[in-house]
Amino acid sequence: MSEETKSLNFIEHIIEEDLANGLSKDKLRFRFPPEPNGYLHIGHTKAIGISFGLGEKYNAPVNLRFDDTNPAKEEQEYVDAIKKDVAWLGYQWENELYSSDYFQQLYDWAVQLIKDGKAYVDSQSSEAMAEQKGTPTQPGVDGPYRNRSVEENLDLFERMKNGEFEEGAHILRAKIDMQHPNMLMRDPIMYRVLKKHHHRTGNDWCIYPMYDWTHGESDYIEQVSHSLCSLEFKPHRELYNWFKEHIYNYASDMLPMLPKQREFARLNLSYTIMSKRKLLKLVEEGIVSGWDDPRMPTISGLRRRGYTPNSIRKFIEKVGVAKRENVIDVSLLEFCIREDLNKTANRVMAVLDPIKVVITNYPEDKEEWLEAENNQEDDSAGYRKVPFSREVYIERDDFKEEAGNKYFRLKLGGEVRLKNAYIIKANDVVKDQNGAILEVHCTYDEDTSKKVKGTLHWVSIKHAIIAEIREYDRLFSHESPDSDKDKDFMEFINPKSLTIKTGYLEPSLATVEVGEQFQFQRLGYFNVDDDSTPEKLVFNKTVGLRDSWAKQKPKPQNNQNQNKAKPQQQKRSAISVIQQFGKKYTNLSEEKQLKVKSEIQELAKDVSYDDLEPLFGTAVKKAGTRIAVLIALKELLKNGLERNDAINEFIEKAKADKNEVLVAEASEI
RNA sequence: UGGCCUAUGGUGUAACUGGCUAACACAUCUGUUUUUGGUACAGAAGAGUCUAGGUUCGAAACCUAGUAGGCCAACCA
């Protein structure tokens, strides 16, 4: 592998630094801590890839820990789905753990905190507490129960645990600082009364610990060295540290490692959403068929769609890790799956929008089984036979009565190759009363050695088998559906995200199994959907092939988000071209500088003083721009421009500059 | 009326931690090859690093201020 020079991301830098500062490599330990309240999506894959990737890189253990502290939302179904998805991605966890395993330890530590005066029971309504908490811009105030005695706190807390109080009657809070600028430090809640059945602890507990208290201490119990999470937890770090430093006093002999929380920017994918809550809404409202609908950005959806673990891991690798908000273009994901499938998927022929071709000089009852290569990218893939006969389907798009010479496909009087078969020539069309084409009549030529521009895929009509083909488009029409301030993401739903077609397939596909993947030649990659049966085949389109022909056609309306720079370039004024030259000027060889200089002089004829003056203020460090401006200015002066104070000042400043070229130009005046 | 974080081609990430003409990938555009308008290969265009100051022989990197964006007021995680 050529990994030696691969640059590190900021988390790897931190780890390398810790290692350099004496952290022993065998102390490295990571964790992936999902809450089992929904399915994993492509965004989680980034978190999974970071922590498990680090585990692989440093040969360190990675725990799969379910953060199951809220029995109201969490279910075993999600635990199972999450385990399945992580394993499918190809990662191995060291231990399968649950925060709920630590409930007793957490409780004991909470009691110690109470004894040390670091936690207290509050008995107000949530409204009252919210009011005392202040706002991000206003400090909070202490509540009336803040200074209860240790004995009273201990008594109440124990009775909370014993189920003596109803939900909402009391909570346990850490005693930190109600005026703290970080709202999370304003006496955060540690425990609430919740008389709910927990998927693992059953009815053992009537109180459940909150995230901040549980998560950090779970890391600490597991002796995680680096606890990696997404950016929105950055403000929690202060509290994470507060808890861990206090608990360290109680347990440092058994648990010497203090975990370090660090935060990275989560993944956003264009034209989709990542919020579990919003994805759930799509499921509940029937916009999609379920969490594993192939249009969903969930791991199960991507799997069903035909994405491979390999392609997803590659994608995560390419996306990188940093701290700024980002929106990844789906085209990168598509690139990754194409790259993978190109090497592994067998090629087959299928026609999804058929038009009938009759080969008039081919005998009516003749049929031939022709040899076809399965995958030219894989020598071990072998060959198969495909049947040919007098009547075949080709794609409706692949025929035009008349077309220009940039159209390589079949047109009247033109020749085209049928993949793996003969070269045919179109002679005639048969139409119905409305002028719609029913048949194309062709003649074939046994000589296949001829050079023809186009090659089409096809299927023999009498041998064709039928399948349902599901084609998908993006789920949302907006690049970033949940970032619009005025509109709800539901307003951007693309009503045409699913198209169902009937496909005509070569007969070798009669025996496919669920999950098998193919390239339908010239169309894209398809896999056999979970719904497929031998009686009724169902295929999903995973992704289309790159199509540089399709791109040609819609030229004028190619107004997307691409290449905003281009329109600017079309009408570039002389002054902007001069600026452009200026930017590069100091980097050019002397010879090229002369050439550019004369071009600037030429351009200067179209420049007015008003264009030039604003550039006198160009920053000192942009010497090139100032040189270009100076050259242009000299031309204007030569052509009769009167000198003024601004000009003089600019020239004097140039003479005093550090850049020799600039000084030389200025001195020539 | 506060705190914290971020800012590098269209997008995402780099830049050996202050030192060569700011690199790589995707996207875009050209060619070549091709029984897939795919793949592969070759090449092009596109950023002086948000702005303004400063420190320095030297700044994308350090400092100050500004601007823009994000996060923070759930008994959620």
Strands (DSSP E) contained in A289-382 are 346-348, 350-351, 354-359, 367-373
Strands (DSSP E) contained in A183-268 are 189-193, 207-209, 226-230, 260-264
Contact A231, A262 (CB under 8 A): no
Distance CA A239, CA A606 (A): 63
Which H, E and C letters describe A603-622, residue by residue? HHHHCCHHHHHHHHHCCCCC
* CA distances for A383 relative to A340, A347, A419, A464, A556, angstroms: 21, 10, 14, 19, 43
User: Does the annotation mark A266 as catalytic?
Assistant: yes
The interface pTM score, or ipTM, of the predicted complex is 0.96
Residue A590 confidence (pLDDT) = 61
Residue A567 confidence (pLDDT) = 29
Find which nucleotide's C1' atom is closest to A546's CA.
B38
Find which nucleotide's C1' atom is closest to A589's CA.
B21
Model confidence pLDDT, tens digit, residues A547-590:
999 877 653 333 333 333 322 222 345 665 666 566 666 655 56
Residue with tokens 């894959």: A45
Distance CA A221, CA A502 (A): 57
> CA A438, C1' B31: Å apart?
39
> Of the residues A195, A196, A262, A266, which is catalytic?
A266
Find which nucleotide's C1' atom is closest to A189's CA.
B75
Residues with pLDDT less than 50, chain A: 1-4, 555-572
User: Does the annotation mark A115 as catalytic?
Assistant: no
Residue A610 confidence (pLDDT) = 64
Closest among A625, A571, A621, A631 to A599, alpha carbons compared: A631
Contact A538, A532 (CB under 8 A): yes
Q: Is A536 helix (H, G, I), strand (E, B) or coil?
A: coil
Residues near A528 by beta carbon (within 8 Å), at least 6 away in sequence? A512, A513, A514, A515, A516, A517, A537, A538, A539, A540
Residue A619 confidence (pLDDT) = 57
Q: Which pair of tokens denotes residue A554?
A: 């819609």
Within 7 A of a protein CB, which nucleotides of strand B?
1-15, 17, 21-22, 25-29, 35-40, 46-48, 51-54, 58-60, 69-77
Residue A72 confidence (pLDDT) = 95
Q: Which pair of tokens denotes residue A379?
A: 């020598």
